[in-house]
């Protein structure tokens, strides 16, 4: 037989595109259209429907960037259509290749009830299945003219990312506003031919199944009368029935399709637009659930449910009913799909607390799967938090984006830094926006790496990023692929059903230990420094607010601000979304974030100030004014206990001397360290007087600012490519070098269009060099680093993560090691040799890199640690981080990892001094020989308003610890709890203290009931 496959495939494409698809709507009539353009921001539904309309014709332009237009469409169903299925076709000017990334609409009935959303792949609205002729049609469409930011030529800088810089030019033209007859038989024929046509391309040329399908397709196309497609569609379907009925092989891979619409809580659109995206998508999905009894839809992010509850209650009512029916499935158990590298310990825990609690209170559902398909790498702390939140499964997709190494598993046990394991799946379909196309399904089968051990995988199915969700076409594909020879078996089901089956058949899956590092998007640790600083500052202010208001509530009857803390936590958690905190959203998002963080800080400062005033009390009447020093850090310092306060603290340590250095510069000495600063303003010596050891590598200069060209191959705000290191400029020219009045050394430099001022100080009584840096940044496509070449020989670096630290290689032995050339650290990075190490601590940076070099002549190893300070990408925000930034970091010679933990907290939780009468006893204290290893991460009152004190603590050094948690109040009983403060078991109380034995990096939450 001659090989005519290419001819048949080409014939199929043309006939489908030019004859059969157009025949799905064989008859149509235009609708009358009028419009009201809402001024400014979106308006409530009632106001939008009531807006005064003016006529508008198809073909007319509409919609400036970020505008809202309310269209009204009206018409009459022709009498000749009686008894037929009729739909409205509403094309706002869509590009079918950009669902979620351009204009969208939500359709309402005249009474304001929602019908469904409109997007480029979902332009129809069902009017009726057996309509009566003469039926009147009246619909309203709230249309948003969101501009296209990520266009066919991607990563082009644009001013459209902020309404303050976008122009007023219309972005779209109305294309079609019609009533049309919907021919179900022709539509089904389209689905038949699409599924078979896609399957054929994935079957090998020597497969009998391929030729069976091709011959059947040829016969079906012969059966179609191109001048009467509707009249011959059923006959054509009959020619395909046999090949569609052939069952899949018994060994066929099984795919659990889950309806899904990944909706970024902000990205190339602002937060307020996400509220509407969620309403549009959930309206679509609840409508589809009503039409399709086998469909199951899953949605994550409690924040998005809360938005529609607040802003679109009529949509939320439909969602709540669908949830109760078990068809609309809340998943994820987090407030948002957050970044997991940068949120602090408590913040990552609170993502689960607030997310799971919302689902429990609203729906009575305990979400068991953590759903993070698109986050840029996954912290090794997550498995323990997943378990402590009452979940047991984890799903991600993003690791498939890694540039260098292919991840070796799709279903596996993920082991966190404390040893906790969570059953994890990574869909081999390699997308969280699956369409269930033949190509995607076949790729999932080929790609699945657990063959022979497991048989099933999951496919998140639906248009995403900007929302949209699952379409009826995707469901039609699933029905045909449920049991079809040559394909995997596809069925829609809940994520929990997939995980239960996957776990049952593959309980002994392989283990991956440690973080899931994404070998891409490494620059997200640095982009948009203001957003990152706002997050870090907010996290620590929330810690202080909870600690001091809880202490004041117990000690002085202070009213604990439950509502304010709940609201402020949710605000901070929202901004940890994986396109906000990583700095990859449009300018509008980050401009609003800066304002929001300022408001959060102001409110928390007010709360803290009132609590401290209540605790400090009044000074003696007419007496000498006293000062109370409050220490919110988990370690005592300068006489102030951890989580407590001391009055009238005396000065400690020898005075600091500042002398001129031979050859220029200065020498600082506090009896513990001697620091040499040369004529360039660079730190050339940090001598540990206690051990007689030099910290700075021979010939090196620390606190060296280095500037790199930074133009990645793509994804500007997201990526830094390894070749950025090929060019570097050391900033050594100095404009000002002088001793400041406060005893620090002031250094001013200028470079490019920018200016940097630094204060280098040596505090009394401390083995620490403090560096305060202010950068007035006006560079473009540059990367600024602060380098510290250290005289330390090591092959690994300890970097703080949530509730502990992890070690990463300082070498590049393997491709896996080399790929981690930029990584995340929270408050500290530590490198060391046995008995002596160096910590670099910071108050607001996350990215760092470490390199090693052997000095000439084998004279030792230089380990260089660099903090990443600023970047200047132009997409999606063309003015990323322009302006003034302030950073604080410190070098700590002779530091152990424990010292690094302590100094990291110290720099982020500065002491507070307030007028008052006396010190404050801490509510809780960690005591015992291992006390230095145990860190209290939160002290608060229980969220249920009971007045119980909740304490969360963790082992911070990676070892075993036996301690007692002593309470500064009478404890009636104590319980070990999960993250949601639900009891897991009793904890014995002896003489007002709870005895604890912690394993490495273990997190424990205790609930103490007051007598």
Nearest to 731 by CA among 677, 665, 680: 680
CA–CA distance, 195 with 189 (Å, rounded to integer): 10
- The residue annotated as part of the active site, out of 183, 374, 678, 849, is 374
What does the alpha-carbon distance between residue 370 and residue 330 come to, in Å, rounded to a whole number?
11
Active site residue 178: no
Rounded Cα–Cα distance for residues 119 and 173 (Å)? 14
Compute the half-sphere exposure of residue 465: CA atoms within 13 Å on the CB side of its CA: 14
Residue 654 to residue 618: CA distance in whole angstroms: 32
Distances (CA, A) of 284 to 277, 492, 513: 11, 17, 40
Query: What whole-number distance in Å separates Cα of residue 661 and Cα of residue 864?
Result: 25
140/121 Cα distance (integer angstroms):
19
Query: In Å, how far are 286, 310, 870 from 319, measured between CA atoms?
Result: 7, 13, 43
- Nearest Cα residue to 410 out of 461, 456, 464, 341: 456
ω into residue 876 within 30 of 0, thus cis?
A: yes
Question: What is the per-residue burial (b if ≥16 Cβ within 10 Å, else e) of 838-863?
Answer: bbbbbbbbbbbbbbbeeeeeeeebbb
- DSSP-based three-state secondary structure for 677: strand
Q: Which helix (H) or strand (E) holds 800?
A: strand 796-801
713/322 Cα distance (integer angstroms): 44
Which residues touch 18 (CB under 8 Å, ≥6 apart)? none
In whole angstroms, give the CA distance from residue 915 to residue 629.
9
Q: How far is CA 749 from CA 21, 187, 255, 776, 959, in A?
A: 66, 69, 59, 11, 44
Beta bridge partners of 397: none
Residue in 301, 238, 627, 640 with CA at minimum distance from that of residue 464: 301
Print the SS3 string covering 287-324.
HHHHHCCCCCEEECCHHHHHHHHHHCHHHHHHHHHHHH
| Helical (H) or strand (E) element with 83 | none
- For 719-783, the DSSP string reads ---GGGGGSEEE----SEEEE-TTSPEEEEEEETTEEEEEEEE--TT-S-EEEEEEEEE--SSEE
Tell me how far apart the alpha carbons of residues 980 and 1003 are, in angstroms, rounded to a whole number. 13
- The catalytic site residues sit at 374
């Amino acid at each position: 037989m001659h090989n005519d496959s290419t001819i048949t495939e080409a014939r199929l494409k043309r006939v489908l595109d030019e004859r059969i698809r157009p025949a799905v709507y064989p008859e149509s009539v235009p609708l009358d259209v009028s419009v009201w353009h809402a001024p400014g921001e979106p308006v409530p539904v009632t106001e939008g429907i009531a807006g005064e309309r003016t006529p508008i014709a198809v073909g007319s332009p509409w919609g400036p960037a970020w505008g809202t237009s309310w269209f009204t469409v009206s018409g009459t169903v022709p009498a000749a259509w009686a008894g037929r299925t009729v739909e409205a076709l509403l094309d706002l000017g869509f590009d079918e290749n950009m669902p979620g990334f351009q204009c969208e609409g939500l359709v309402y009935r005249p009474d304001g009830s929602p019908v469904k959303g409109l997007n480029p792949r979902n332009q129809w609205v069902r009017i009726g299945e057996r309509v009566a002729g003469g039926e009147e049609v009246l619909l309203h469409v709230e249309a948003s003219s969101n501009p296209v930011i990520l266009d066919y030529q991607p990563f082009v800088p644009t001013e459209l990312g902020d309404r303050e810089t976008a122009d007023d030019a219309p972005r779209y033209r109305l294309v079609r506003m019609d009533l049309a007859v919907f021919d179900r038989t022709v539509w089904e024929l389209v689905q038949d031919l699409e599924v078979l046509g896609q399957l054929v391309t994935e079957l090998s040329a020597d497969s009998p199944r391929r030729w069976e399908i091709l011959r059947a397709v040829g016969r079906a196309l012969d059966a179609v009368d191109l001048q009467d497609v509707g009249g011959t569609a059923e006959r054509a379907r009959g020619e395909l029935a046999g090949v569609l009925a052939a069952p899949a092989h018994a060994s066929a891979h099984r795919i659990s399709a889950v309806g899904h619409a990944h909706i970024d809580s902000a990205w190339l659109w602002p937060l307020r637009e996400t509220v509407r995206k969620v309403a549009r998508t959930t309206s679509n999905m609840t409508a589809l659930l009503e039409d399709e009894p086998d469909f199951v839809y899953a949605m994550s992010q409690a924040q998005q449910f809360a938005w529609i509850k607040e802003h679109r209650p009529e949509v939320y009512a439909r969602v709540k009913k669908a949830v109760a029916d078990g068809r609309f499935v809340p998943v994820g158990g987090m407030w948002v799909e957050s970044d997991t590298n940068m949120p602090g310990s408590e913040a990552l825990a609170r993502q689960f607390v607030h997310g799971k609690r919302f689902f429990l209170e609203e729906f009575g559902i305990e979400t068991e799967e953590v759903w993070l398909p698109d986050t840029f790498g996954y912290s090794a702390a997550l498995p323990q938090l997943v378990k402590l939140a009452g979940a047991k499964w984890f799903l991600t997709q993003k690791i498939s984006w890694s540039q260098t190494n292919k991840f070796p598993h799709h279903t596996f046990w993920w082991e966190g830094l404390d040893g906790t394991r969570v059953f994890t799946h990574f869909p081999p379909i390699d997308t969280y926006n699956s369409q269930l196309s033949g190509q995607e399904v076949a790729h999932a089968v080929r790609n699945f790496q657990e063959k022979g051990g497991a048989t099933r995988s999951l496919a998140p199915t639906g248009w995403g990023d900007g929302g949209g969700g699952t379409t009826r076409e995707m469901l039609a594909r699933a029905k045909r692929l449920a049991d079809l020879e040559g394909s995997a078996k596809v069925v829609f089901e809940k994520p929990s059903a997939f995980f239960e089956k996957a776990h049952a058949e593959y309980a002994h899956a392989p283990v991956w230990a440690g973080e899931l590092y994404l070998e891409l998007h490494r620059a997200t640790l640095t982009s948009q420094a203001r957003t990152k600083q706002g997050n870090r500052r907010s996290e620590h202010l929330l810690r202080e607010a909870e600690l001091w208001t809880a202490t004041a509530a117990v000690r002085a009857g202070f009213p604990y601000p439950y509502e304010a803390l709940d609201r402020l936590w949710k605000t901070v958690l929202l901004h940890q979304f994986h396109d906000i905190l990583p700095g990859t959203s449009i300018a509008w998002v980050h401009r609003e974030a800066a304002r929001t963080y300022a408001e959060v800080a102001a409110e928390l400062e007010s709360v803290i100030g009132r609590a401290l005033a209540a605790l400090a009390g009044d000074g003696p009447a007419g007496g000498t004014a006293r000062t109370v020093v409050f220490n919110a850090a988990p370690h005592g310092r300068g006489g102030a206990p951890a989580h407590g306060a001391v009055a009238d603290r005396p000065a400690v340590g020898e005075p600091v001397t500042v002398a001129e250095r031979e050859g220029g510069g200065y020498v600082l000495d506090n009896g513990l360290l001697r620091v040499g600063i040369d004529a360039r303003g660079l730190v050339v010596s940090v001598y540990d007087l206690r051990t007689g050891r030099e910290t700075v590598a021979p010939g090196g200069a620390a606190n060296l600012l280095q500037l790199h060209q930074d133009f990645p191959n793509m994804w500007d705000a997201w990526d830094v490519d390894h070749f950025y290191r090929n060019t570097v400029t050391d900033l050594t020219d100095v404009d000002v070098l002088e001793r400041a009045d406060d005893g620090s050394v002031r250094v001013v430099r200028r470079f490019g269009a920018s200016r940097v001022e630094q204060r280098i100080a040596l505090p009394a009584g401390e083995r620490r060099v403090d560096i305060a840096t202010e950068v007035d940044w006006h560079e473009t496509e540059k990367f600024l680093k602060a380098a510290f070449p250290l005289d330390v020989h090591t092959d690994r670096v300890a970097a703080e993560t949530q509730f502990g630290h992890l070690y990463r290689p300082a070498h590049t032995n393997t491709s896996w090691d080399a790929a981690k050339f930029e990584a995340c650290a929270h408050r500290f990075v530590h490198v060391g040799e046995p008995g002596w190490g160096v910590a670099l601590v910071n108050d607001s940076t996350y990215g760092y890199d470490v390199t090693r070099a052997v000095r000439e002549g084998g004279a030792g190893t230089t380990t260089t640690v660099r903090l990443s300070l600023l970047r200047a990408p132009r997409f999606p925000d063309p003015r990323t981080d322009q302006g003034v930034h302030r950073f604080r970091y410190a070098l700590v010679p002779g530091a152990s990892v424990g010292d690094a933990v302590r100094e990291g907290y110290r720099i982020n939780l500065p002491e507070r001094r307030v007028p008052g009468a006396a010190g404050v006893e801490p509510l809780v204290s960690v005591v015992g020989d291992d006390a230095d290893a145990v860190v209290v991460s939160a002290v608060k009152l229980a969220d249920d308003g009971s007045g119980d004190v909740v304490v969360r603590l963790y082992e911070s050094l990676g070892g075993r610890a036996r301690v007692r948690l002593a309470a500064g109040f009478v404890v009636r009983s104590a319980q070990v709890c999960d993250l949601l403060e639900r009891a897991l078991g009793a904890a014995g109380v002896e003489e007002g203290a709870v005895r604890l034995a912690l394993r490495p990096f273990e997190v424990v939450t205790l609930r103490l009931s007051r007598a």
